[in-house]
Every structure is written in structure tokens, then in C-alpha cells.
């Protein structure tokens, strides 16, 4: 049986829970995966695991907040592979003080996720699109979360950051569509296995811990307890990146368990 991403060249930025899940999913479906991050330690482990499973993966050092670094990384991939078919940026940040109220944080804390996420997505999308336009084919994929659609307290600047990513994805779709390039984003309610990444963004205090207990209770009830597993996120990403989803662009794949329905 032909795999969804047979002979595709995929770039995945980040080796946290989402990044490594997506990388494995792409590789299982036949793509050669190039993993980029600031440190080669985690990406090397992911690549080794992919290779052990019979897949193809390579790694490189890249700073997604630096235009020159991103372009050099993408240029290197194209020099080796001849093209780039999929670009997925899943880098996370440390800080942002989720769990605090807006009135309790500084402007710098509020804008941290907005700046990081938009800058990283902007640089990685632009670097890949230059080649995809020439190829007249390619998929730029991003990921967002429910605070961009539903007002949830104590999520600080993360909701505006994810909303900005969604607007960026749609604008790119409008500009790149005539050149055969698609842009889509995964919209997730969060996976239990991704707690490692979630914890990096939280302020830690007894008050915040209590708020998060209340938030998680409400969150669980709203989605009926049906959070996507990381494996399900990977399956959806692979399908959306494939030619079978070839008419899907400027929109999102809903993996919120019904919490978001618009």
C-alpha cells in the first residue's frame, strides 16, 4: 500500500512532544524528515528513533527566531534533497506565565508568546515558500490551540498568539494558493501526553495551581473528556500534509474533541 507521504521532503522544527510526534508520523508515511532545533541533542534522539523504525531522518541546528539561520537551514535541506514539500514549525517557549491573570503580568510577559510564535512561523513559512512557489507545490503547516477561539481565563498572551498564527496561515493561503502552495493549521484542545511542553509556559505558585485545577475541570467538561492523543494529532498532520487533502487550504483541521465547532 502506498504511503501518504511517499518520497516527500518534510522539515519539522522542534523536538518537543508535538514536534517529535509529527516527525514520526511523517516518517511512517514515507517522508524524509529534516529536524531542526537550537540543540542537536533532542532532535538526534528523535532522528535515531525514526531510523530505528526504518524511516529516514536528518538533523540540523537552527534558530527559528533568526531569519538568516532559518534560510540557511532550508537552503541546506534543498541542497541535499532537491526540494521541500512540507514545513511544520512546532517550537515552544519557556515562560509566558500562563496561569496568571492579565492584570498580574508585565507587557513583556504578555507579548512573549505573541512575538515568539509569530516570528518563528513567519520565518519558517517564508523560507519554505520561496522553494514551494518555484515547485508549484508544497504545504506549510502550523498548530494552534483553543484559546484562539474560546475565551479561557489565565492564558495570558497565548490566545492572541494563536489567533495571530491563524490569521497568518490564512493570509499566506490567499497569497500562495495560485502558486500551488497550501497552508493549514492543526487546531487542538491539547493532549495529555504533552504536559511537558505545557508546563514550560506556566507560572508556578499556589494561586496558579488552584486556578489550573479549576480550569482543567471546566476544560474537561466542555470537551467531554475527548482530548486528542498525540498519535491522533500525528495522523491528522500526515493526512493534511498529503496530496489526499490537496484542495484543503486556508483553514484548519479540528482536533478539539468538539470543543470548537466553527
Q: Which residues contact 51 (CB under 8 A, 6 or more apart)?
A: 57
* Closest by Cα among 107, 125, 104, 127 to 115: 107
Degrees, nearest 5: CA angle 110-115-118: 130
Q: How far apart are CA 122 and CA 118, in angstroms?
A: 6
Domains annotated on the chain, with CATH: 9-255 (3.40.50.720)
Most confident region among 85-89, 149-153, 193-197 by mean pLDDT: 85-89
Query: Could you report the per-residue pLDDT of 48-60, keeping only the tens digit for each?
Result: 999 999 999 999 9
How far apart (Å, rounded) are the C-alpha atoms in residues 121 and 170?
13
Which has more confidence, 69 or 101?
69
The Cα–Cα gap between 54 and 197 comes to 27
- % pLDDT > 70, the chain: 87
Asked if 46 and 23 touch (Cβ cutoff 8 Å), the reply is yes
CA distances from 4 to 12, 28, 125 (A): 17, 9, 22
Contact 148, 138 (CB under 8 A): no
pLDDT bucket at 217, cuts 50 / 70 / 90? low
Specify the range with the lowest mean pLDDT, choosing from 151-160, 183-192, 253-262: 253-262
What is the pLDDT at residue 196?
64
DSSP-derived secondary structure letter, 228: P
What residues are paired with 95 via a beta bridge?
none
Mean pLDDT value across residues 236-242: 97
What pLDDT is attached to residue 213? 66
| Nearest of 68, 66, 56 to residue 12 by alpha carbon | 56
- Rounded Cα distance between 217 and 183, Å, is 33
Determine contact, residues 189/222, Cβ cutoff 8 Å: no
Residue bearing the bigger pLDDT, 209 or 33? 33
Confidence check: pLDDT of 224 > 60: no
Q: Could you give the CA distance from residue 250 to residue 262 in angstroms, rounded to a whole number?
A: 14
Please provide the distance, in angstroms rounded to a whole number, between the alpha carbons at the two ends of the chain. 35
Q: Cell numbers at residue 94, please?
A: 519557556
pLDDT given at position 218: 52
For the stretch 121-135, what's the b/e string if a residue is b when 16 or more beta carbons lie within 10 angstroms of its beta carbon?
Answer: bbbbbbbbbebbbee
Amino acid at each position: 500500500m502506498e504511503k501518504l507521504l511517499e518520497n516527500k521532503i518534510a522539515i519539522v522544527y522542534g523536538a518537543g512532544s508535538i514536534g517529535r510526534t509529527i516527525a514520526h508520523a511523517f516518517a511512517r508515511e514515507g517522508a524524509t524528515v529534516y529536524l531542526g532545533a537550537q540543540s542537536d541533542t533532542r532532535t538526534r534522539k528523535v532522528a535515531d528513533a525514526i531510523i530505528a523504525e526504518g524511516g529516514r531522518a536528518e538533523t540540523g541546528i537552527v534558530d527559528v527566531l533568526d531569519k538568516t539561520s532559518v534560510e540557511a537551514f532550508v537552503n541546506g535541506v534543498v541542497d541535499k534533497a532537491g526540494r521541500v514539500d512540507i514545513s511544520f514549525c512546532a517550537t515552544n517557549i519557556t515562560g509566558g506565565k500562563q496561569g496568571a491573570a492579565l492584570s498580574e503580568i508585565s507587557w513583556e510577559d504578555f507579548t512573549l508568546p505573541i512575538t515568539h510564535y509569530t516570528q518563528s512561523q513567519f520565518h519558517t513559512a517564508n523560507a519554505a515558500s520561496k522553494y514551494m512557489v518555484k515547485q508549484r507545490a508544497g504545504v506549510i503547516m502550523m498548530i494552534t490551540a483553543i484559546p484562539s477561539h474560546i475565551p479561557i481565563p489565565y492564558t495570558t498572551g497565548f490566545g492572541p498568539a494563536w489567533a495571530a498564527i491563524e490569521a497568518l496561515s490564512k493570509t499566506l493561503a490567499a497569497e500562495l494558493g495560485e502558486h500551488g502552495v497550501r497552508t493549514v493549521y492543526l487546531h487542538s484542545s491539547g493532549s495529555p501526553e504533552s504536559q511537558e511542553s505545557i508546563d514550560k509556559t506556566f507560572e508556578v505558585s499556589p494561586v496558579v495551581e488552584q486556578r489550573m485545577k479549576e480550569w482543567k475541570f471546566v476544560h474537561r467538561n466542555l470537551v467531554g473528556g475527548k482530548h486528542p492523543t498525540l498519535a491522533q494529532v500525528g495522523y491528522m498532520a500526515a493526512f493534511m500534509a498529503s496530496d489526499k487533502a490537496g484542495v484543503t487550504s486556508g483553514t484548519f483541521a479540528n482536533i478539539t474533541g468538539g470543543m470548537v465547532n466553527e
